[in-house]
Amino acid sequence: MQKLRKLVAWVVAVVVSAALGSIIQTQFNLAMIQQLGAPIPFGIRLETTLHDLLNFAPTYALLVAAGFLVALPVSGLLTRAWSSGRAVLHALAGGAAVAAALLVMNALLPATVIGAARFPSGIAALSLAGALGGLLFALWTRPETA
C-alpha cells in the first residue's frame, strides 16, 4: 500500500509541476509577444493557456518525470539522515530536477525549445513549479504517526 501511495504521489507531483510549468511557459511566451507590441486580450491569453495545457504540458511532463525519477529517490535517501527536513529536501530536489533538466537541455540542443528557459527568471519560475511538486510529494508520502 505504501508503494502505491508513493507512486500516486509521484504522478500527481509530476502532473501539478508540469501543468504549472506549462502555464508559466505560456505566460512568458505571451509576454515576449506583447513586448513586440501585439495586444494580448484576456480571451486569447486564456485560450492559449488552455491550448498549451493540452498540448505542451504532456510533453513537458516527460521532462519533469525524468528529473523527478532521479531526484526524489535521492532526496528520499537523504531524509534518512535528516527526517525533520523531509519537506525541504523533497522541495529542493523537485526544483533542482527541473533546473538541471532545463539547463542540460539548453546546453545540448541547438536552440532553446522552452521559451521561458531562455531567461534566468524563467528557469527560476519553472524550478519553483518543480519545488512545489517535490513539496506535494513530501506531504502525500509523509510517514504515518501512531
Measuring CA to CA, how many Å separate 46 from each of 27, 41, 64? 10, 9, 23
Residues 48-64 as b or e (16 or more Cβ within 10 Å = b): bbeebeeebbeebbebb
pLDDT(146) > 60: no
Note the pLDDT tens digit of each residue in 18-60.
999 999 999 999 999 999 999 999 999 999 999 999 999 999 9
How does DSSP classify residue 110? Answer: S
pLDDT score, position 40? 95
Measuring CA to CA, how many Å separate 142 from each of 62, 83, 125? 25, 10, 26
Q: Cα–Cα distance between 56 and 25 in angstroms, integer?
A: 9
Q: Where are the alpha helices (DSSP H) in the chain?
A: 2-35, 42-55, 57-78, 86-108, 120-140
Note the pLDDT tens digit of each residue in 54-88.
999 999 999 999 999 999 999 999 999 998 999 99
Residue 18 identity: A
Q: Where are the domains of the chain?
A: 2-140
